Structure 1
Amino acid sequence: MKAVRLPRGAAVAVTAAVALATVPGCTEKQGEGGGSEAIQVTASDTECNVSRTTFPAGHVKLAVRNTGAKVTEVYVYAPGDRIVTERENIGPGTRADITAEVKAGSYEIACKPGMQGDGIRQKVTATGQGAARAGDPRLDRAIAEYRRYVQAQADETLPKVEKFAAAVKAGDVARAKKAYAVSRVGWERTEPVAESFGDIDPKVDVREDGLEQGQAWTGWHRLEKALWQGGRIGDEEKKLADRLVADLKDWQKRVGTADITATGMANGAKELLDEVATGKVTGEEERYSHTDLADFHANVEGAQKSYELLKPVAAEKDPALAKELDERFAALFRLLDDHRDKGSPDGFVPYDTVGKDDRKKLSDGVNALAEPLSKLAAAVAG
């Protein structure tokens, strides 16, 4: 989870808008990238322009271009500021094409120069019912299996979080530290879906520098700081442990309502790599516990799960892409395996012991995978 942000939504599909999610930038003239049928999004440091504010629901392609001097990101919001999807790290002068499936309805596209604040917003509308087309039974199976996977991750997370919370409430700092990173794995594997519920993420996974004005700091990272920096547990932390369990039970109950699509799964896999690039590789995510590698590994596992479920269709439509993704996933897991520690509760060495050269290798591995992974949605949309 990156430092400065609103409750983030997940590309993994939570709502039709997921497709829009593919919007990462904010537009320019039609025809300057992404093909003449793409919605052009031009993002500058002061504007967020889209080539069309009304378009047919269904498979949508957005061609994003950042014309500003700052790194930007783009969010797609459903009514009530529910975050549907987002794309990070769109560098100055760069482009990104995103493909997704959008249902009819009203949305807002927000460009966020410097990846901060509420963003510069444009209202857009998807009309009609979308193009009628026969569904691919392989994608239907992939979606059904992924839905079972995210629910299972939520179900398996709760007992681990309860164990962590019990240690906090007992005032046992050592036991709480051992349970901390393990309790986060299921969340990290399915973060795009989890974050699609914009009101849950800021309660459980926000960092101190990501707080909005007036927002109370709760969740894992608030407890992480108390355990590793303060080294003590007070009455407030014990209450926060109970609240963490309650908020994650809410997530567990709601995760099954996510609107999951094949393109949403693909975009969510890319979002997980963005999570790694902006928080884990930099060491910002777990700045007190230094358990970043456990989060890193879980993010990559979640991305690979989406890819493997979509692979039968992707490999048929773009065999070269599937071959490259197989190789890049394997290479990144090998790099992570170099930092295993069987004696650690989460299975990895503390990230503050990983040197500059090894961090560079990990970063390069993430970037090498992220580029082909960004093409997966287009491959399954066909």
Structure 2
Amino acid sequence: MSRRSATALALAALVLPLTAACVPNDTSGDGASGAASTGPLTVRSTADACEVSASSVAAGPVTFSVTNDGDDVTEFYLLGEDGLRVVAEVENIGPGLSRDLVAQVRPGTYWTSCKPGMVGDGIRAEFTVTDSGSAVTPTGDAAEQLATAESQYVAYVKDQVGALVAATQEFADAYAAGDDAKARDLYAATRVHWERVEPVAESFGDLDPLLDLREADLEEGQTWTGWHLVEKDLWQPTPDANGGVTYTPLTPEQRKAAADDIVANTAKLQEQVTDPQFTFEAFQIANGAKELLDEVATGKVTGEEEIWSHTDLWDFQANVDGARVAFEVLGDVVTAKDADLADELTQRFTDLQTLLTAQGSVETGFTSYTDLTEAQVKELAAAVDALSEPLSQLTATVTGA
């Protein structure tokens, strides 16, 4: 789970408009506020400001170049008109660093939001997309290729979520019944289905933190639910690993409530992805591939995701699976536009998969993350970095931004 998800519940509870902390958007070179932009937009994030170089842009591909001029890690979101739906996001931007976010946007009202420190409600401003008078998405053969890719990816998501629902029920039944051995056996393999499609879950706002929030990302007063609450109870820490406090196991009633929450929220996810109106556009698929690899770099490689069970390699593999599928469904488009990029991505995915396969598989089980040597962790991290750079070009290639 990404660190930004720790605050998604608070985000979902906001009542729009929330502009009190926003810096007015400045657009053209003369400093005129509110004008429409015709080129890449710059975003400057600080502790108390989210300065976007334009408050309006013409429909079509848009690139936000986000620079963190603050002292804390930040994130940037493009939200739908309701302020809840995540249209596109870029996470984990360290102080002094810049990251690009590419989105394919249609006419309408949106919200930009920076989240310095990756906590709180975010610094928001209204953002307008005007009718450009031309097609927002590609036409002809490219349009058909993208439509096929979107259809294939949605089918993949539905399949993974369906498998997640069934496996979650079996896991929850075992855990609620006190069969810890069975629950431990089912834990990692069940979560694989979630980790493969997590960008989709994140786009629905509060489902990600309800199901996948880590204890380290809890805000003061926030109720902890989901997989990692149960993970801690199944792999109970010693006082040294629990802030010097003896861990108190959940009661049978608390176990049942935790299990029921996971089942109910997973069912909500299934309702969302099986809704006839559900779609995931090509630029979201491409962005999602990069998000999944970022998840690996910031959580799995560090061993922070599964801090109690140390089943990080299952999640690692699932994130790579999801990123690879996203690339593959877009493969025809990428090959047509940049065959060299397609070849490089194919090779980088192969190289990373070779290292993962050496440690096991989802079907047979993986090495505990704590059993990896420092050299093995560094090798995995290097392979992730090698894949990350070309994967960051995927959205711009697909959208023509």
TM range (shorter): 0.7 to 0.9
Q: Distance in 1 between matches of 2:120 and 2:147?
A: 37
Q: Is the 8 A contact 1:262 1:380 kept in 2?
A: yes
How much has 1:355 moved relative to structure 2?
A: 2.2
Give the aligned residue type for 1:153.
Q
**Alignment-derived partner of residue 32 in structure 2:** none
**Alignment-derived partner of residue 297 in structure 1:** 317
Q: Is the 8 A contact 2:145 2:333 kept in 1?
A: yes
Q: Distance in 2 between matches of 1:116 and 1:355?
A: 33
**Alignment-derived partner of residue 195 in structure 1:** 202
How much has 1:127 moved relative to structure 2?
A: 2.2
Q: Is the 8 A contact 2:359 2:366 kept in 1?
A: yes
How much has 1:130 moved relative to structure 2?
A: 6.7
C-alpha RMSD of the superposition: 2.4
Give the aligned residue type for 1:210.
D
Q: Is the 8 A contact 2:88 2:101 kept in 1?
A: no
In structure 2, stretches of 5+ residues that fail to align are 10-23, 30-36, 237-246
**Alignment-derived partner of residue 19 in structure 2:** none
- Asked if 1:94 is matched to 2:97, the reply is yes
How much has 1:232 moved relative to structure 2?
A: 6.8
Q: Call closer, same or farther: CA 1:352–1:233 in 2, change over 3 Å.
A: farther
1:43 paired residue among 45, 48, 72: 45
Q: Is the 8 A contact 2:89 2:101 kept in 1?
A: no
- Asked if 1:353 is matched to 2:371, the reply is yes
In structure 1, stretches of 5+ residues that fail to align are 9-25
**Alignment-derived partner of residue 18 in structure 1:** none
1:10-25 aligned at under 5 Å gives the runs none
How much has 1:324 moved relative to structure 2?
A: 1.2
Moved more, 248-257 or 83-92: 83-92
2:189 paired residue among 182, 193, 212: 182
Q: Distance in 1 between matches of 2:165 and 2:281?
A: 25
Q: Distance in 2 between matches of 1:297 and 1:183?
A: 13
Q: Distance in 2 between matches of 1:98 and 1:76?
A: 9
1:217 paired residue among 201, 208, 224: 224
> Match of 1:6, SS?
helix
1:204-353 aligned at under 5 Å gives the runs 204-229=211-236, 234-256=252-274, 257-340=277-360, 347-353=365-371
> Match of 2:87, SS?
strand
TM-score normalised to structure 1 length? 0.87
- Deviation by residue 1:59-95 (Cα, 9 ceiling, x = unmatched): 2122222233433221222224333332122233333
**Alignment-derived partner of residue 21 in structure 1:** none
How much has 1:236 moved relative to structure 2?
A: 0.5
Q: Is the 8 A contact 1:112 1:120 kept in 2?
A: yes
Moved more, 169-178 or 344-353: 344-353
Q: Call closer, same or farther: CA 1:148–1:52 in 2, change over 3 Å.
A: same
Q: Is the 8 A contact 1:27 1:63 kept in 2?
A: no
**Alignment-derived partner of residue 242 in structure 2:** none
Give the aligned residue type for 1:368.
A
Q: Distance in 2 between matches of 1:339 and 1:308?
A: 24
How much has 1:129 moved relative to structure 2?
A: 6.9
Greater RCO structure (CA 8 Å; 6+ sep): 1
Q: Is the 8 A contact 1:3 1:284 kept in 2?
A: no
Q: Is the 8 A contact 1:227 1:233 kept in 2?
A: no
Q: Distance in 2 between matches of 1:98 and 1:3?
A: 18
How much has 1:47 moved relative to structure 2?
A: 2.1
**Alignment-derived partner of residue 371 in structure 1:** 389
How much has 1:153 moved relative to structure 2?
A: 0.5
1:141 paired residue among 132, 135, 148: 148
Moved more, 258-267 or 136-145: 258-267
Give the aligned residue type for 1:323.
D
Please list every run of at least 4 consecutive aligned residues from structure 1 whose deviation after the TM superposition is greater than 4 angstroms. Answer: 26-31, 230-233
How much has 1:36 moved relative to structure 2?
A: 6.8
**Alignment-derived partner of residue 2 in structure 2:** 2
Q: Distance in 1 between matches of 2:386 and 2:28?
A: 29
Q: Is the 8 A contact 1:110 1:121 kept in 2?
A: yes
1:80-119 aligned at under 5 Å gives the runs 80-119=83-122
**Alignment-derived partner of residue 240 in structure 2:** none
**Alignment-derived partner of residue 127 in structure 1:** 130
